[in-house]
Structures are given as structure tokens and as C-alpha cells.
Amino acid sequence: MAQLLRRLDDEVHIEYNTFGLDGTDLLWSSPTEEIHHFTAAVRLESWDAEPEPADASWTPVSTQTFVAERGVVAITSMMEYRGHDFLIGPPHFEYGVQMYLREPRPGDGHGTGKSDETWMLRFWPIRDVFDPIEHAAPEHYFVPGVGYHSIDIEPERLVPPPARRKVPVPVSAVSDWVSLCPDPDLDTFDGWLRRERRTAEADGVTIYQRLRAHGIDIEDGADLTLAACAPPYWRAGRYEDPVIDCYYAEQARRDSFANLAEYGLRERADADRIAKELCRRGTPTFSVPVERRSVAPGDSLRVWRWETDYLGGALRGGGLTVDRQVVAENPWTRQILVSGIVTILRSDETRHCGGGPDWYAARNAEPHEAARVLCAEATWEEDPEQRRALDELVKEKLAELRAAHGSGK
């Protein structure tokens, strides 16, 4: 039986009666014809398998499939509005999505720009579709000083035919991924709610009775959402967005957000929630520098880091243990340059340095995640002759670019 992994209640700014899903070509149209621009409620749900149909209060709209380049999605509108980030699972998976609607009463929203229209999107994984040629190609050659152009090289110039691959493409199962496994002790709202249900069942009471015993004003049968279940000390009352409001109130007990604007709070709330959902309970995390132009939560990749080598090459704490390799050493400073495979959790805002690499919070990659990286490295490995041929090709393209832009650099 399919299990609900997580859900998020958000708003969508529907413009010209249309909204979509970031990173896909999926679009949905609203039946509300009286007004073209309005705000409606939307619920996002992630499941570990195709769920049963929703209850009779929801009207089915469509069922579609798509391939997710990233495991994090967001609702978008035509005018660049973007909803909260939501983790549906690992990247490079085929997913199904069921769309449901609770239609508004006639005339709702005319005077306020809001509508009683409510949408629900249910996502579930279908299969792993990772292909290193399609999904893990090397970054383009970036040409600084020449109109910010990049030099694109066709994949067939970079990699031998698939029949000559040195490593078979790994195919993972849904149960391999932490983002597709329910964790009752996860430090998120859904994890907290699972713990409360478990305790209520052991005490012989309903979840609603237990919540009311803790001072939460909630009626039997009400939706158990973040806003409805927030304890009184979480209720800051400063922001209309319940996700931001509860995050601010919860974190205000630990940190000072006096100088953090609402947009910054929104980014932190989403990043903290998704980082927790990408880790199993008790998983160590650490910071790593990343020299790449595009990195997202859930991405697995190889990183390099200088470490102080006080113990003669012995492994110390701080991660980078998966396929760990010592690349170079500096005997004068007793430092070693090591590489390892990690999974990115979120940007590390405490380690930003002007002019240096970006830093990210990460954890050691799990076996199925590391298998993708190792497969990509073997697939795109270049021999010396191939490298020299590509260098010559890039020099030709660079000369053409400089000539076109009148630069002799």
C-alpha cells in the first residue's frame, strides 16, 4: 500500500488561468473563467508509490508522467512567480503526478483577487531513468571575456559509443533512496506528526485529543497541516505565509533573525526542510567547497578539499569517505588534497567567501548515489589523444568567437 511521505500546503498565483511545474513542460488550466489572475491554495504531496484515488471532496483533473531533472519541484506562474520548493524524490527518475481540484463557489475571489479554488498534486516515483550521457555530461567550456559565451561540444565528440561503456549504467530501486522512505523520527513536520500519531495510539487516544491536550486548538477531522498543528509558541503572527511564519517562530528561540527579510526566511525554511528530508536519522553532515556552476539539493558529485594531515594519511572526521582519493600533498604545510563523493543538502550560508568557491552542507553519498557518479566518470573518461583533439577543436571555436566579438584576447 502506498505511503504518504511528505506534503506541503502552499499558494499558487494563477495568471491567465494557467500555472505550471518548474523544470517540466506540465501546465494546468483553471476552470475559473470570471477572473484571469488570482491566488488559490495548492497542496503538494510526495508518495512512495502510486496512491489510491483521493476522497470524494476532490475532483480528478488529470494523471501525467514526466522525468525530473532534479528531485525538487515548485509551482510556477507565467509572470515568474515561484512557490515553495518541495522534495518529491531523487533526480533523474520518471514520476507520475495526479492532479485534483476542489472547485470554488460561483463568484469567489472577484473582489479580493483570491479564490476558494484548491488544487492538489500527488507525485510518486515510477522508475530510475538515469543515463550518464543525457544527465551527467561535462559542463560546457565557458569563455570569460567573450560575451559570456560557452563552447558546446556534441556528446559524441566527448564519449565513445554506448556499446563501449566501461561501467554499466546503475539502476536503483525506490527503496534505495532516503527521499522515498518514510522516517517516523525525521526532524520535520511530517516526522513530528508521525511521532505524535504513534504516541497517541500507544496512549489510546486520537491524534486530535493529543494535540488539544498540548494546547493546539483543532477540531476532530480537521486537516493536519503545518499551520493547523503549529503549537502556540510557534505562532509568531508576523507573516501570512504559514510556512515562513512557523519557521520564524520556531527558529527565533535559537537564533536572531532581526536583519533577515521575508525572502531570506523563505529560502532558509525551504532549504532546512529539504536538507533534513535528504538525510537518514543520525547522518553526519559537513561542509565542502564546490567548483561548479549549478548544484541543487539531492545532487551527488565528486568534490575536492584540502585537509590538514596530522596523522600521516589516517582518515579523520569531517566526511569525504566515499571513494576517498588523495590527489596531492603539501609536505611543508602538512596538507593533503583529497576527493570523495558526496550528496548536496543545501547551501552553507556561514561559509560564503568573496571570490572563492561556493560552500555547501553535504553528507557522504550512499552506494546507489555513488554508483551514478562513478558511472558518469567512467563514461566520460578521456584518453590523451581524445583530449588533445578536443583542445584543438575548442581553440578553433574560441578563435571564431573572438573574431566575431572583435576581441584579440
Query: Which residues face 72 on adjacent strands?
Result: 87
Cell of 262: 521575508
**Helix 262-277 crosses helix 242-252 at what angle (to 10 degrees)?**
80
Which CATH number describes the domain made up of 4-129?
2.60.34
> Is 293's pLDDT higher than 90?
no
Average pLDDT over residues 115-138: 89
pLDDT of residue 397: 80
Confidence of residue 236 (pLDDT cuts 50, 70, 90): low
Contact 150, 142 (CB under 8 A): yes
Residue 394's H or E segment, with its range, is helix 384-404
Query: Rounded distance, CA 166 to CA 77, Å?
Result: 43
- Percent composition of the chain: helix, strand, coil (DSSP 3-state, to 5): 25, 30, 45
Strand 300-308 to strand 18-21: parallel, antiparallel, or no bridges (unpaired)?
A: unpaired
In this predicted model, what pLDDT tens digit does every residue of 386-406 receive, in sequence order? 778 778 888 888 888 777 776
pLDDT of residue 176: 95
Cell of 88: 518529491
Question: Considering only 65-74, 257-266, 360-369, which range has the smallest mean pLDDT?
Answer: 257-266
In this predicted model, what pLDDT tens digit does every residue of 173-201 receive, in sequence order? 999 999 998 877 777 778 888 888 889 99
pLDDT of residue 313: 60
Q: How many residues does the chain have?
A: 409
The domain segmentation of the chain, as residue ranges, is 4-129, 134-159+382-404, 180-277, 283-379
In this predicted model, what pLDDT tens digit does every residue of 302-349 receive, in sequence order? 999 888 887 666 666 677 899 999 899 888 888 889 999 999 999 987
> Is 252's pLDDT higher than 90?
no
Query: Which residues face 4 on adjacent strands?
Result: 47
> Is 112's pLDDT higher than 70?
no
Other beta carbons within 10 angstroms of residue 201's beta carbon come to 12
